[in-house]
Amino acid sequence: MKIPFTKLHGAKNDFLLTFSEDAPAGDLPAVAVAICDRYTGAGADGWMLVDRAAGADFDASIRLFNSDGSEPELSGNGTRCAGALLLRDQNAGSVRIRTGAGIKHLQLISRQGLEYLFEMNMGHVRVNELSAIVRERDTVIIDAGNPQCAIPVEHFDFDWRAVGKAVENDGRFPNRTNVSFVRPVDRHTIDVRFWERGAGETNSSGTGSTGAAMAAIARGFAESPLTVQTPAGALTLRFEESVFLTGPAEFIAEGIYFYGGKT
């Protein structure tokens, strides 16, 4: 079976995007696991279905599957990638995308060749617990449209991946959680590492950056506007009534995946 895809990345968080009309029927989580495999598939952190049918208050809808087949509510980096795909052949300066966490408005800031820069309204971000102990770690539990557990740290010289995996699967999170490790740099800068639910270590995360920034502000060691340093570069956030995240989306490739080894 042939599945067409376009590959994009948002700050080296990569996704395979397929228009809904080109997606196969059947077990979509199994397709996601296969197509995202970095050795036997096209390789990505997630697979996204993009439905171009508009509604009264949105221009398109997306459905995202992680590389393990699970279906998260939202990906900030992934939603920007969908925005770039939707605006590629248009002159519009904005797009409204319906996600599992509601409708997200993306404003196009610049467009240079294959790279797009968006400011995305992440909506209202809520601190659920300002000081919680998870796996003997001091954490901040955030709702950023998906579950986030931010862990303040002084450095990354420990096995934070193992900690991230343990926290992700801790019993207090029935649907698992995303995990970020937050190191203060100055009042307007934090350095963050990410362990994402269903994907493991990622180079960056839009919702993870949002949760980490909210945690830093709530704990009082940072203030808006805030730059989040990630292994893939910087994302910026400003906090008003809503939270606004600015970051890139870039086209990488287009192709056909032979699902099940069949053409």
CATH number of residue 75's parent domain? 3.10.310.10
* Judgement on whether residues 86 and 144 belong to the same structural domain of the protein: no
pLDDT at 91: 85
The CA-based angle 79-183-134, given to 5 degrees, is 80
d(CA 67, CA 231): 20
Q: How confident is the model at residue 192 (pLDDT cuts 50, 70, 90)?
A: very high
* Judgement on whether residues 16 and 111 belong to the same structural domain of the protein: yes
Report CA Rg, the chain: 18
d(CA 211, CA 123): 12
Q: How confident is the model at residue 260 (pLDDT cuts 50, 70, 90)?
A: confident
d(CA 75, CA 122): 10
| Contact (CB, 8 A) for 204 and 77 | yes
* Judgement on whether residues 13 and 101 belong to the same structural domain of the protein: yes
The number of distinct structural domains making up the chain is 2
* Judgement on whether residues 97 and 7 belong to the same structural domain of the protein: yes
d(CA 124, CA 77): 17
pLDDT at 263: 54
* Judgement on whether residues 78 and 62 belong to the same structural domain of the protein: yes
Residues 233-250, mean pLDDT to the nearest whole number:
96
Q: What are 99's two structure tokens?
A: 């996600």
* Judgement on whether residues 28 and 60 belong to the same structural domain of the protein: yes
* Judgement on whether residues 190 and 146 belong to the same structural domain of the protein: yes
* Judgement on whether residues 6 and 112 belong to the same structural domain of the protein: yes
* Judgement on whether residues 229 and 254 belong to the same structural domain of the protein: no
Work out the mean pLDDT of the chain and round it to a whole number: 96
* Judgement on whether residues 222 and 133 belong to the same structural domain of the protein: yes
- Print the domain residue range for 173: 126-240
The model's pLDDT over 39-71, given as tens digits with 9 standing for 90+, comes to 999 999 999 999 999 999 999 999 999 999 999
Residue 30, pLDDT > 80, answer yes
The model's pLDDT over 63-89, given as tens digits with 9 standing for 90+, comes to 999 999 999 999 999 999 999 999 999
* Judgement on whether residues 115 and 155 belong to the same structural domain of the protein: no
| Contact (CB, 8 A) for 35 and 53 | no
What is the pTM assigned to this prediction? 0.92
Residues 105-131, mean pLDDT to the nearest whole number:
97
Check the CA dihedral 37-29-171-124 and report its sign.
Answer: positive
CA dihedral 203, 206, 211, 214 (to 10 degrees): 120
How many CA within 13 A on the CB side of residue 153?
Answer: 21
Looking at the DSSP bridge assignments, the partners of residue 123 are: 243
d(CA 144, CA 205): 12
The model's pLDDT over 136-149, given as tens digits with 9 standing for 90+, comes to 999 999 999 999 99
Q: How confident is the model at residue 262 (pLDDT cuts 50, 70, 90)?
A: low
The CA-based angle 111-225-144, given to 5 degrees, is 85
* Judgement on whether residues 30 and 96 belong to the same structural domain of the protein: yes
Residue 103, pLDDT > 90, answer yes
| Contact (CB, 8 A) for 36 and 28 | no
Phi, psi of 201 (to 5 degrees): -65, 130
